[in-house]
Each structure stands twice: as C-alpha cells, then as structure tokens.
C-alpha cells in the first residue's frame, strides 16, 4: 500500500461556548464540538484522533449513546436543523434529522430493540422532538411544544422494571417535566418543582432497579430525585406512621403500574450558577451492570465538585472540589467523568478544557487547548521548533512538540500564551527566535520578547539544551516573566525579586483606559515563576506564561492587517486597513532601534499580505485593489524602491489578491486570489516590462475556489520543480508541483499531487499556510532533520502548518518521497 502524501500531525482546537458540547464515551474518547466540526480526543494519547466535518453552522451539542452492555456504538451531534449519526469506527455521516426551526441545544438517545434508536432533541424553537431511527432514516414521531418557554436539557431512560421510555426536560420555567410513552405516544406524567431559577442540566442513572435523576440550575443548587416502582415501596403499618419524604405518584394506563417520585437530596456547595451534572458511567462486573453513586457538577464559580453518599448514613456529601482560584475568566460550562472515574474534565466559557487526574490525590493533567475564535495568522520560529499563532479570540499562543518518556512520538501542546489582549489579533511576524511583532484591531504594533522563565521551561519540555537557547536569545537584562494590569493592555516585565507594587502603571495616553490612579486602574495580576517539565494547565497559561512587551510602534492610521519580516530579522514591514491610498502605504521598521525607516506608497486599498524574498533583497505586497507591487532593496542602507507593479489595466487577477510567497531560491513568487487563480512570476523577467504587460512564467492555475492562502515549500524538489500548498475558502488544502515550461498551455506545468480529505480539511476558510523552515518533523531529533540543514535530503518529511477561520491550527506531515 502506497504511503499517504498528507498525514495529520496535530489539530489544536477548543470546545464551543455551549453547555452540552462535550461528551466522554465509555470507549475512552472525548467528543466535543469545535466551531462547525466535532473533534474526537484521546486523553491517553493526548491528541485529536479524528475530526468530523459536515455541519454548516456551529455544533451546539454532542452526545455519545451507549447500549446497556456499556459498549459505545453511536455518536449523536447536533446544531440548527441537523442531527448526525456516526457509527464507530468509520465516523461517517449517517442521517440528517430536519425539523427544528431553531438551534438545537441538547440531545439524548436510548437503544430500542432491533438496533433502533429513540432520540430526543430540544431547540430554541420552544419544542422537544422525539425521533425514531431505524437504520436508514430518522423520522420525527412526536413534537412537544412549550409555548414561549425553552427547554435547556433533555435526558432519556427506561422506567424501573419496564421497557417504557421516560423523558426528563428541564427549562426556563424552573420545573422538570416528565414524559412517558403510553400507547405509542409521549404524554406528560409529572412536573417536579423545587428549583428557583432556570434548570441547566438533567441526567438519569439506574441504581438497583430505581432511577435517580440529577438536576442543576442557576439557583446554585443540585437536586437528586428518586423514581421507584410503587410495588417496591409497600410498607407495613408501623412504617406508615414514621416521618418520610412526600412523594408524587403517576400511573401509566397501558400497564397500570404506579411510579413514585421523591426528592432524595438537595446539594448546596457551589457559589454560582451550576451548568452541568454528570453521573459516573456504569461498569460491567460479572456480566451485570453496576452504577457507581458518584455525581460530578460544574459551576460558573470555576469549580467542579464530586459528590457521593456517605457510608452508613447515606447522606450526600462533597468528596472532592477542584477548580481555579483568581484570574478574570468566567467559570465552567459543563463537566464529564472518565469511564473508570479516575479523571474528571470541565470545559470553560472560553472553550478551554480543564482536566484533573487521580493518583494519590487529584491534580491537574495535560490536555489539549486552542483558539476559541478564528485563527488569523501563524508563524514558525526560525529553527522550526515551535509555532506562534494569533486569533480573533485576542490571544497569541505558542505550540511545541513534547516527547514523553513512555512514548516514541511527540505530541504538540500549548506551553505559553505570550499575549492576552483586549483587541482581536490579526497578524504577527517573528523577529529572531524569541521575539515577535504583533498587530491587532488597533493602530499600534507591539513587540514582545521571551522572558528567561519561558526559555528555561522550553528547554525542559522540548529537550533542547538550555545553553543553546540562551546563546540564541538576548540574555542582557532579560526579565523573569511578565504580568498584565487587569485594565491594561501592556505586559509588564517582572524581574527577579520584583513585587507587583513596584510596577509603574502606564499613563492614560499610552493605554487609553481613562483611569489615573493605580487603585482606580487595576489590580496587578501576579506572576509566579515555575519550573515545568510538562505542558502547563490552563490556569498557569493564563497567569504565568506571558511575554513582556518591549516596544510599541506608532504610525498607522487604522487597524493593523498584515506583517512581514526579512530573513536577516533586521526589517519589519507592516500595513493597516485602508480605503484610501494615503492609508495603504507599507511602513518599514528597524528591528534594532524600532524606528520607522520608510513608507512605501503604491496601493489604493488594504495591503492583504506581504513577503520578503529569502535573501532579503525584495519585498512583495498584494492588495485588495487587485494589484501587487515589488520593491527592491538598495545597498548599503535598508532602503527600498519600487521595482515594478501591476495596474488595473495590466493586472492578471480580476478579484482581491489574498496571499503571496517566494520560492526558496529567490527566483519566483506566487500570488493567489479570490478569482480562483494561482499565478507564478519570475522576478528577473520583470526588470524589463514589454509594452506595459507583465506576463507570468506559469500558466494560470484555476483551483476551483477562492484561493485564500498560498505558500512555497522551502525544500526544493528534484528536477527544478517546486512544491506549493494552496488553501481554499472551503477549508481544503491542495498540493501542487510546478515545473518551469517554455510554453505552458492548459496548466501542463502544474501537477496536482494531493489534497486534504474531508476529515483533514478545515470547515471554514484557510487563513494562512506556513511550511516549516527545515526538513523533517519537529520534535523528532537531529537525525531526521538532517542535523538542522534546510536542504537536507535525508528525511522524506516536511511539515505544513495551517490556520483556519474554524478556530483551529493544523499541522500536516507531507511525504516528499510520495510526491
């Protein structure tokens, strides 16, 4: 069997901002919605093993469905109008259930006879729908309308001692509505009162023939209800005279069986709204199913509590409380427990996953992380050992491979969050190994430099010798870390022995917050330097991994849009959003003095992307005005003059040009556009333009969709050919090999060698593509990487990183030998 050309190395993504978006299957996989997709995460391998694409809108709820023998069979996930059923292990789309007229917010299902499924879903259209899945289609069998009310969660189970389905619905009327199937139809049998605010979660558990229902609400309380067949509750005369809980009784006419419902316990421990409750999954022992009486809850107070009955008294008590202390983030949206109860997981308002594992005591565990909004830009460090990415979630994140002692292959993890901003991030450019410039939806560029604490922890996690890292960074007056004022935007350097009170606040003019005194402006966020040997948890990423801001660059009149730096790391080019020529100029900055060197006016609208040639002699800029400009560096000073450019009458592209890049040998550059065209030009052929017409040296490649990103592989292919990656608006990434031809016709000089399949592609627009600057796979050691050589031919692998509007960063391994 031929080796695949494209392999997915890593997917960095977080959970959507909805309460029921994550589910832990009894097979060990965690399924959660991320933007329009569903990620399947293996907590043991610490990586995403599959991504299920197909939805055209945000995934709101994900639920594993299990048989009574505890085998995970089918995954149910939903968003507005649609449900998908995906059988293991193929994970293929099975059926769509179209009927809701609003976004679906919760779903549950139980197995019937003959491999049928009964599915319950609730949506913002104020209805709960029951679906019967028969193997080929799903049909809506019943619709329950709640008028102007909304049901937040639903849960299905079997009534005690029967095969009668019972449905629990919790909503904004502070009641739990119970429906049971009678003569083929679901009818309301009872309403349970007690909660004083919206009910956020309900879940059934079967214990010794009885049903336990756990419910949580925004009144900060959890209630446990017990349903038991009335025939099992017969009491003698003496028991009738004792004090006991009141019970509600309902009868189903089809069997005459009476069922009693009592309130078992009210659990008070959270200090804010409780958004999720989850029973520990049952296990099989001796062929029988055993349900452990462990209940997990998650709250907006940023804690999870594990509840259990006290031996002897049977009173529900708090066993374990875990969570975050301090910070300015909101709390937990939901929780799940591993099948064996040794791990508990919460997902937060900003999509972050929080994992705790139990050995001798509960401690934070390593878990995946990612942006919770569109990823706008990314860049490899010059050595190709880590990736920096920026996104509309107002954060900059740093990913690097981590090789555990018991594993042969490294896994990628976020080990630092250098910038947590107050504006949506748009672009970044590396300037040296441990310094970068970033731009956001503001007029200011900000320069950040890694603190010593990060360099030391990076050495521990990546296995790189510390002396080598310190030699490549500026260790003079290097701060220990950084902290950010609660109402500020600048990361302040923290030196060893510096207390937060020693930090001088910025002036109003610098920060623009409108506060004067330190007490009015903020409380300092404390930095605690820690020595790490593994990727840090979320709370540590938020507080202790910031990079200090060393410079601000002023000069643009509107929000920043793109950045680029030369290979010598001496010049940085920047451009902002522009609707007039006066604002569309490219600004050049010195990376040593951080002074503005030059303004390059040429375009009339926003410059969308820029790229320096590998030798630093040329700067290419492409724009919304459908033209590109090429600037040449004049020696000896870093001064650039216009070499050539296209005009509206000479432009090859007919729509906005999104992206550009240079070949590794400095000969060619490529542009890609919304007009679906990818074009390569030779910079030497542009010195003399014949009759004002600029002719490409390649045939025009039509990729069939808006080409939003393009990148030349820095590793040259044999036979004077070049490998390119093209990202599309649909989310797919295409691989092409281009070879110079004297008279290219019909795209004969282009050869398509591969593309990402539906599970590998982004679900939304590809924003940026970047090849690793060195051959080999990061984290695999010097032998595969040709001892650090860019042109080493020993390894068959190169790596490609992509940023998508679907909130994800993906890293692909490309097999050069297969190409």
Partners of 210 in the β-ladder:
207
Report the percentage of the chain scoring pLDDT > 90: 57
From residue 689, how far is each of 268, 532, 681, 682, 684 by CA, in Å? 78, 57, 12, 12, 10
Task: Give the pLDDT score at 326.
Answer: 64
Is the pLDDT confidence value at 126 over 80? yes
Asked if residues 300 and 332 have their Cβ atoms less than 8 Å apart, the reply is yes
CA angle 44, 46, 49 (to 5 degrees): 95
Question: Which is higher by pLDDT, 795 or 785?
Answer: 795
Q: What pLDDT shows up at residue 510? A: 42
Using the predicted structure, report yes or no on whether residue 187 has a pLDDT greater than 70: yes
d(CA 797, CA 626): 35
- For 432-466, write each residue's pLDDT tens digit: 899 999 999 999 999 999 998 899 899 888 888 88
- Answer whether residue 505 shows pLDDT above 50: no
Helices and strands, number each (H, E), in the chain: 6, 60
pLDDT grade for 428, boundaries at 50, 70 and 90: very high
Banded pLDDT at 287 (limits 50, 70, 90): low
Tens digits of per-residue pLDDT, 626-653? Answer: 999 999 998 767 889 999 999 888 888 9
Task: Compute the C-alpha angle 162/166/168, nearest 5°.
Answer: 150
Cα distance from N-terminal residue to C-terminal residue, the chain: 15
pLDDT for the residue numbered 784: 58
pLDDT at 4: 75
Please determine, for residue 26, whether its predicted confidence score (pLDDT) is greater than 80.
Answer: yes
pLDDT at residue 79 is higher than 70: no
Q: Is 201 exposed, middle or buried (0-12, 13-18, 19+ CB in 10 A)?
A: buried
- Return d(Cα 665, Cα 716) in angstroms, integer: 8
Tens of pLDDT along 39-71? 999 999 999 999 988 888 889 999 988 766 544
Classify residue 719 by burial, with Cβ atoms within 10 Å: 0-12, 13-18, 19+.
exposed
Residues in CB range of 348: below 8 A, 6 or more apart: 302, 329, 330, 331, 332, 333, 354, 538
- For residue 292, pLDDT beyond 90: no
User: Could you read off the pLDDT of 676-733 as tens digits, one per residue?
Assistant: 999 999 876 665 444 445 778 889 999 999 999 999 999 888 777 899 999 999 999 9
From CA 181, how far away is CA 560, in angstroms rounded? 59
Backbone φ, ψ for residue 536 (5° rounding): -80, 155
Look at residue 87 in the predicted model and tell me its pLDDT: 60
Tens of pLDDT, residue by residue over 253-268, are 666 678 889 999 999 9
Give the per-residue pLDDT at 486. Answer: 67
The pLDDT tens digits of the residues spanning 367-404 come to 999 999 999 999 999 999 999 999 999 999 999 999 88
pLDDT of amino acid 549: 94
Residue 407 scores a pLDDT above 80 = no
Q: What is the pLDDT of residue 693?
A: 55
SS3 36: coil
Q: Could you give the residue ranges of the DSSP H alpha helices within 249-326?
A: none
Confidence of residue 762 (pLDDT cuts 50, 70, 90): very high
With a cut of 50, say whether residue 20 has pLDDT above it. Answer: yes
pLDDT value of position 517: 29
Burial grade of 651 (CB within 10 A; 0-12, 13-18, 19 or more): middle
3-state helix, strand, coil in the chain (%, to 5): 5, 45, 45
**Does position 516 have pLDDT exceeding 50, yes or no?**
no
Q: What is the pTM of this model?
A: 0.90
Find the mean pLDDT for residues 807-813.
Answer: 97
- Taking only the tens place, the pLDDT of each residue in 531-574 is 677 898 888 888 889 999 999 999 999 999 999 999 988 999 99
Residues 6+ apart with CB under 8 A from 614: 567, 662, 664, 665, 666, 714
pLDDT for residue 86: 62
What distance in Å separates the CA atoms of residue 447 and residue 434, rounded to the nearest whole number?
11
Q: Mean of the per-residue pLDDT values for the chain?
A: 85
pLDDT at residue 408 tops 90: no
> Who wins on pLDDT, 506 or 697?
697
pLDDT at 485 over 80: no
Evaluate if residue 521 carries a pLDDT over 60: no
CB 537 within 8 A of CB 356: no
- pLDDT of 413 reads 95
Average pLDDT over residues 274-291: 81
The Cα–Cα gap between 731 and 761 comes to 6
More confident residue, 183 or 699: 699
The pLDDT assigned to 240 comes to 52
Spatial separation of the C-alpha atoms in residues 352 and 373, rounded to whole Å: 12
Q: Which of 701, 742, 745 is nearest to 725 (CA)?
A: 701
What pLDDT score does 610 carry?
97
* Average pLDDT rounded to a whole number, residues 357-365: 90
User: Where do the DSSP E strands lie in 528-606?
Assistant: 549-553, 560-565, 571-576, 586-590, 596-600
The pair phi, psi for residue 510, each rounded to 5°, is -70, -40
CB 327 within 8 A of CB 13: no
| pLDDT at residue 154 is higher than 90 | yes
Does the structure show a pLDDT above 70 at 770?
A: yes
Give the C-alpha separation, 647 to 650, whole Å: 5
């Amino acid at each position: 069997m031929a080796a695949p050309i494209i392999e997915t190395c890593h997917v960095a993504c977080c959970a959507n901002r909805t309460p029921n978006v994550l589910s832990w299957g009894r097979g060990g996989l965690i399924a959660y919605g991320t933007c329009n997709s569903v990620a399947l995460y293996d907590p043991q391998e610490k990586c995403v093993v599959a991504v299920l694409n197909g939805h055209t809108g945000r995934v709101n709820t994900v639920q594993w469905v299990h048989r009574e023998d505890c085998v995970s069979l089918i995954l149910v996930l939903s968003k507005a109008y649609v449900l998908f059923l995906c059988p293991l292990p193929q994970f293929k789309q099975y059926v769509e259930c179209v009927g809701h007229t609003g976004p679906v917010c919760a779903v549950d299902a139980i197995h019937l006879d003959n491999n049928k499924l009964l599915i319950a879903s609730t949506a913002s259209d104020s209805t709960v729908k029951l679906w019967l899945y028969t193997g080929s289609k799903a049909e809506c069998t019943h619709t329950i309308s709640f008028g102007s009310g909304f049901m937040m969660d639903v849960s299905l189970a079997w009534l005690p001692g029967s095969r009668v389905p019972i449905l629990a619905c919790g909503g904004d009327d502070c009641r739990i509505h119970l429906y049971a199937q009678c003569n083929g139809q679901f009818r309301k049998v009872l309403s349970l009162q007690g909660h004083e605010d919206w009910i956020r979660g309900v879940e059934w558990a079967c214990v010794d023939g009885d049903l336990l229902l756990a419910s949580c609400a925004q009144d900060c309380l959890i209630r446990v209800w017990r349903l038991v067949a009335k025939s099992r509750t017969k009491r003698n005369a003496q028991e009738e005279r004792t004090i006991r809980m009141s019970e509600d009784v309902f009868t189903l006419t089809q069997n005459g069986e009476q069922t009693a419902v009592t309130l078992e316990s009210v659990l008070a421990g959270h200090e804010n709204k409780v958004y999720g409750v989850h029973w520990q999954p049952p296990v099989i022992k001796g062929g029988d199913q055993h349900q452990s009486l462990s209940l997990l809850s998650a709250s907006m107070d940023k804690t999870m509590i594990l509840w259990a009955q006290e031996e002897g008294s049977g009173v529900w008590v708090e066993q374990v409380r875990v969570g975050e202390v301090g910070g300015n983030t909101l709390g937990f949206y939901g929780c799940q427990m591993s099948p064996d109860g040794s791990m508990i997981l919460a997902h937060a308002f900003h999509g972050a996953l929080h994992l705790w594992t139990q050995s001798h005591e509960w401690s934070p565990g390593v878990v995946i992380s990612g942006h919770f909004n569109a990823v706008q830009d990314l860049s490899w460090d010059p050595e190709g050992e880590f990736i920096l990415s920026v996104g509309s979630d107002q954060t900059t994140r740093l990913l690097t491979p981590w090789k555990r002692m018991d594993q042969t292959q490294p896994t990628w993890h976020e080990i630092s969050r250098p910038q947590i901003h107050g504006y949506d991030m748009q672009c970044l450019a590396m300037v040296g190994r441990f310094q970068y410039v970033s731009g956001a939806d503001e007029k200011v560029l900000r320069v950040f430099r890694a603190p010593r604490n990060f360099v030391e922890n990076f050495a521990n996690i990546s296995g790189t010798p510390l002396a080598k890292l310190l030699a490549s960074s500026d260790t003079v007056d290097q701060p220990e870390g950084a902290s950010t004022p609660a109402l500020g935007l600048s990361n302040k350097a923290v030196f060893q022995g510096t207390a937060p009170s020693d930090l001088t606040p910025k002036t109003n003019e610098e920060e623009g917050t409108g506060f004067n005194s330190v007490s009015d402006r903020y409380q300092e966020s404390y930095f605690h330097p820690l020595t790490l040997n593994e990727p840090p948890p979320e709370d540590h990423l938020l507080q202790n991994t910031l990079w200090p801001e060393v410079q601000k660059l002023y000069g643009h009149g509107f929000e920043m849009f793109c950045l680029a730096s030369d290979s010598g790391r001496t010049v940085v080019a920047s451009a902002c959003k522009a609707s007039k020529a006066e604002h569309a100029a490219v600004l050049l900055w010195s990376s040593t003095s951080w002074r503005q060197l030059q303004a390059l006016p040429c375009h009339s609208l926003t410059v969308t992307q820029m790229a320096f040639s590998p030798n630093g002699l040329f700067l290419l800029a492409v724009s919304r005005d459908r033209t590109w400009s090429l600037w040449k560096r004049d020696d000896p000073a870093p001064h650039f003059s216009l070499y050539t450019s296209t005009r509206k009458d000479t432009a090859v592209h007919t729509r906005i040009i999104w992206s550009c890049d240079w070949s590794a040998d400095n000969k060619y550059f490529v542009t890609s556009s919304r007009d679906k065209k990818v074009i390569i030009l030779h910079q030497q052929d542009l010195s003399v333009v014949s009759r004002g017409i600029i002719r490409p040296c390649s045939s025009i490649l039509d990729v069939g969709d808006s080409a939003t990103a393009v990148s030349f592989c820095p590793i040259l292919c044999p036979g004077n050919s070049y490998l390119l990656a093209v990202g599309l608006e649909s989310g797919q990434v295409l691989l092409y090999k281009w070879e110079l031809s004297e008279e290219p016709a019909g795209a004969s000089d282009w050869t398509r060698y591969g593309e990402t399949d539906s599970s590998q592609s982004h679900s939304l627009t590809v924003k940026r593509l970047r090849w690793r600057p060195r051959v080999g796979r990061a984290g695999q050691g010097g032998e595969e990487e040709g001892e650090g050589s860019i042109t080493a031919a020993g390894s068959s692998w190169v790596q490609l990183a992509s940023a998508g509007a679907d909130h994800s960063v993906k890293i692909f391994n490309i097999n050069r030998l297969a190409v």
